[in-house]
Amino acid sequence: MITDRILKLFLLLTVFSGLTIGCSGSTDSTNPAPAPGGEFNLETAITLGELSLVAYEQLKQCIETGKEAITVPAPFNLEEVIYEGVDSAINPTCADDTNVVPIAFIATEGKNIYLAFRGTANIADALTDILDTQVSYTLVPDGGKVSQGFLNKYMGTDTNPIRATVFSKLDELVGTGNYDNLYVTGHSMGGALAVTAFPDLSQNLSIANLFMYNFAEPAVGDSDFVSTYQGEYGADRVSCRVVNTNDLVPKLPPLGLDCTDLMYAHVSGDHPITFGVTLPDLPDFNDFNCEPVAINAAIFAYGVSNLEDIVTDHEMCTYFKTLCTQGSDPSTCDVRAIGCDSE
């Protein structure tokens, strides 16, 4: 995992200054009524938390040594690494390929397939996070609108197609008849990509059971997207959002605003945990009349004043270790905190 705190602070500031308006979790009447996302399973959350950490570790492995160094821990089997194109002038790249870094991976174990998206770790990712203007989600009928940045990241480019690569490998694996369950996960931006993928995978992949667990995910789409997303829920379609009650990122974009093409709502299924520092209340963004510059300035000032605590409250390592303390074997679980020793 990228551990340099200066980089993390810069990236988080960039995210905060770009996630400017919307209504995430608002009580506004335009938001859909809450619906269950399925029963939360702690051991599943721990397993997927581990794989979210692995996604960060794979970036480190590729940058330091190259693509051949990318691994997953036992008992998982690595099936595919998905790469995104980046500009080496402003981003660290894989040691043996200066055009790409890993953005996701697919692994298997038993009857299970796992798809894990990596969270924000470089300048390219930060630029994804700040593109919060909404565009139509056309991957399923009545998909509403989602963040342009997250959808662009999920789709990839002609040179490095992310969605197409994911579906190609998943179709291949499902076609063997050996797998019944698909688990999708990610932290922060990776969690947003997992939410972006969920209705697409639910409707367009022939998998019996689909489980999405993410960590610290910012809101992805509008109320129409949320309605369609939650319409997939059932015994074979489970969606859970693990949220630190002190974490700022899941509270973004700002709450309770009614701004054209920038109205955000969270999908339901949140599972709260608590660690870190309680932050001061956010400004009342209704005072800024949907003016992006004024909202950006307020968020930037808030971020500068609270940066260290914001970073602490958002760390995937602490999300994972907090879940471990609640599990059946905390000491063994903590050993699985990949890449966290230097945090």
Q: In this model, does residue 199 exceed pLDDT 50?
A: yes
Mean pLDDT, rounded, of the chain: 86
Q: Which of 16-30, 112-126, 223-237 has the highest mean pLDDT?
A: 223-237
pLDDT digits (tens, 9 = 90+) for 5-18: 444 544 554 444 44
Res 16: pLDDT? 46
What token pair was written down for 309? 């605590």
Percentage with pLDDT > 90 across the chain: 64
Q: In this model, does residue 123 exceed pLDDT 60?
A: no
Res 78: pLDDT? 98
Stronger pLDDT, 61 or 86, i.e. the higher one? 61
Res 264: pLDDT? 86
Q: In this model, does residue 247 exceed pLDDT 60?
A: yes
Cα distances (angstroms) measured from residue 232 to each of 63, 140, 196, 199: 38, 11, 13, 7
Q: In this model, does residue 34 exceed pLDDT 70?
A: no
Map 188-220 to HEC letters.
CHHHHHHHHHHHHHHHHCCCCEEEEEEECCCCC
Confidence class of residue 230 from pLDDT cuts 50, 70 and 90?
A: very high
- 27-54 as b/e: b if 16+ CB within 10 A: eeeebbeeeebbebeeebbbbbbbbbbb
- CA 69, CA 102: separation in Å to the nearest integer? 12
Res 29: pLDDT? 34
Res 21: pLDDT? 32
Q: In this model, does residue 304 exceed pLDDT 80?
A: yes
Q: In this model, does residue 22 exceed pLDDT 50?
A: no
Average pLDDT of the segment spanning 106-133: 78
Ramachandran class of 260: left when φ > 0, alpha when ψ lies in -120 to 50, beta otherwise: beta
Stronger pLDDT, 170 or 292, i.e. the higher one? 170
Confidence class of residue 272 from pLDDT cuts 50, 70 and 90?
A: very high
Helix (H, G, I), strand (E, B) or coil at 242: strand
Average pLDDT of the segment spanning 114-118: 98
Radius of gyration of the chain (CA): 19
Worst-scoring range by mean pLDDT, 25-34, 246-255, 260-269, 296-305?
25-34
Are the CB atoms for 274 and 245 separated by under 8 Å? yes
Stronger pLDDT, 288 or 25, i.e. the higher one? 288
Q: In this model, does residue 122 exceed pLDDT 70?
A: no
Reported residue count of the chain is: 343
- CA 42, CA 261: separation in Å to the nearest integer? 36
Worst-scoring range by mean pLDDT, 86-90, 290-294, 336-340?
290-294
Q: pTM of this prediction? A: 0.90
Confidence class of residue 214 from pLDDT cuts 50, 70 and 90?
A: very high
- CA 284, CA 294: separation in Å to the nearest integer? 12
Q: In this model, does residue 36 exceed pLDDT 70?
A: no
Average pLDDT of the segment spanning 109-137: 78
Res 293: pLDDT? 76
